[in-house]
Amino acid sequence: MRILFFNYEYPPLGGGAAHATAYILKSLSQHHDIQIDLVTSAIDAKESQEKISENITVHRIPIGKNPENLHFQSQKELLTYTFNARKYANKLVAQNDYDFTHSFFTVPCGILSLYYKLFHNLNYIVSLRGADVPGYSERFTLIYKMFTPIIKVIWQSAHYRVTNSAGLTTLAKKTSPKMEFKEIYNGIDLKPFEGISRKKEADKEKFTILCAARMTHRKGFQYVLDAVATLANEHPQIDIVFAGGDGGMSSKLAGQTQALGLESHVTFLGRYTKDDIVQIYENADVFVMPSFNEGMSNNALEALASGLPIIMTPTGGAQELVHDGRNGFIVNFMDAQEIAKCINLLISDSKKRTTMGEESLRIAKELSWDTAANQYYALYQKTREARKSL
C-alpha cells in the first residue's frame, strides 16, 4: 500500500507531534509492504527529499520559516505550508498510485486530506494532536470559532479519527458528541534513558524540579514558580529547571522569577537537543507539568522513562501516565498551593521519590512507539480495504 502523509512539522522543526511522526515512521519502516511519502516543512528556502528507509521518504517544502524559531509556527507559515504542500502533493499524486492519505493535525493538514478525498477519491485518516481540537488552547479561541465548522467536516469525512489520549477524546467529543474516535497513545523510546544514574541522597546539593516543554502559557509553569516561592525559605536547596524552546512565555516566566525573588532558584536552559535529554532528566528529582490542556505529553513520557515522580493536572494523558499516589500526583488546575504541598512531600520523603520513580519506569515499559505504529498499521490495512467503496 502507498500512503501520502501530511504533517507540517518534523524534526528539527516542531514539538511533540513532530517527534511522534518521526518515531512512528521509523517503526513503520519495518513493514515492507507499505510506501510512505511525508510532505513536511523545510527550515530553509529549498525543497529537499530524504529517504529515512527504503520505503519511507520525507519531502521538505519551503514555508518561509524563520530558522531561529523552530518550535512555533505562525499563521502565515501554516497558510504557506497548506498552499505549497497541495502544489507539491499534486505532483506526487500524478506520479504515484496512493491508497489513502494520513494527516497529523486537523488544521491545516486535514484540509489537504479532505481536498484529496473530494478531488482524487482518496480516503484519509486524521490524527488529532491537541491544538487542532476546539477548546484546547486559549490562544486559539477566536480561531476555533472560525474553524470549528471545517474541523467538524474534516472529522466527519475521515475514515478514522485518531486521538492520542482519553482526555483528548473527551475534549473532541464536546465538539462532536456522536463521533467515534480511535485512541493510539504516544510511545516512548527507553534506550536513551537506560544509562541514567542519579546521585545518592547524601551527595545531593539541590532538589531539582524539572519543567520540560515548549514555554507556552498553556503549560501552567507560572504556578510552579508560585509554589516554589512558598517553599524556598524552608527548603533553600530547591531549584527549578525550565527546559524547552520559547512559545511566547519565556520572558514572562523570567519576569515572574525576578518579581518573586527566585533568581537563585531558577535556571532557564532554553531549547535542547536529543543529546541533552539524559543529563536534563538525570539531574531532576521530580517532573512537574500543571498544563491547562495536553494531548499526550512527550515530555511526561520522557519523565516516566527516566524514572521520575510526576506532578500533573488532570488533562490529556494524565490518566494513562500518572497513577495518583503511586508514581506521582494529579493536582487541580491553577493550584499553586496543591503543587507546593506535593513538592514538599517529595522533598521530605526520599523513599517515596524512589518508589514513585520505580513505578514510573514500570509504566513506561508498557508503552512503545512500535505499539503505536502497529496500531496505525492495522488502521492502514482497514483503510486500504475500504478504498473500493469510494
- Tens of pLDDT, residue by residue over 292-303, are 988 788 899 999
Cβ neighbours of residue 221 under 8 Å, at least 6 residues apart? 211, 213, 215, 242, 249, 253, 290
Q: Where are the domains of the chain?
A: 2-187+369-389, 191-365
Helix (H) or strand (E) holding 85: helix 75-95
Does this model's pTM top 0.85? My answer is: no
* Backbone φ, ψ for residue 239 (5° rounding): -145, 145
Which pLDDT does position 390 carry in this prediction? Answer: 52
CA–CA dist 153, 107 (Å, integer): 11
Q: Which residue has the higher pLDDT, 141 or 97?
A: 97
Which pLDDT does position 214 carry in this prediction? Answer: 87
Among residues 288, 311, 264, the alpha carbon closest in space to that of 211 is found at 288
Across the chain, mean pLDDT equals 92
CA–CA dist 101, 3 (Å, integer): 5
**Cell 522569577 -> residue:** 257
Angle (CA) 171 177 179, round 5°:
100
Given a cut of 60, whether residue 109 has pLDDT beyond it is yes
Which pLDDT does position 154 carry in this prediction? Answer: 98
Cβ neighbours of residue 378 under 8 Å, at least 6 residues apart? none
Read off the pLDDT band of 138 (50, 70, 90). confident
Q: What cell was used for 344?
A: 514538599
Fold equal for 2-187+369-389 and 191-365: yes
CA–CA dist 161, 151 (Å, integer): 12
Query: Which DSSP letter does residue 199 get?
Result: P
- Per the rule left: phi > 0, alpha: psi between -120 and 50, beta: everything else, 328 is left
* Backbone φ, ψ for residue 49 (5° rounding): -130, 140
Q: What cell was used for 160?
A: 478514522
Which pLDDT does position 156 carry in this prediction? Answer: 97
Strand ranges of the sheet holding 266-270, from the earlier edge strand across to the other edge: 266-270, 238-243, 207-212, 286-289, 310-312, 328-330
What number is the average pLDDT over the span 264-279? 90
Q: What cell was used for 298?
A: 512527550
Given a cut of 70, whether residue 143 has pLDDT beyond it is yes
**CATH T-level fold of 2-187+369-389:** Rossmann fold (3.40.50)
Which pLDDT does position 63 carry in this prediction? Answer: 94
Cβ neighbours of residue 7 under 8 Å, at least 6 residues apart? 17, 18, 21, 38, 40, 103, 104, 105, 109
Which pLDDT does position 136 carry in this prediction? Answer: 87
Lowest mean pLDDT segment, chosen from 28-32, 101-105, 243-247: 243-247
Q: What pLDDT digit, counting tens, does each position of 315-354 carry?
A: 878 888 999 999 999 999 999 999 999 999 999 999 999 9
Q: Which residue has the higher pLDDT, 189 or 346?
A: 346
Domain over 191-365 is classified CATH 1.10.10.350: no
User: Are 242 and 221 contacting, i.e. CB atoms less than 8 angstroms apart?
Assistant: yes
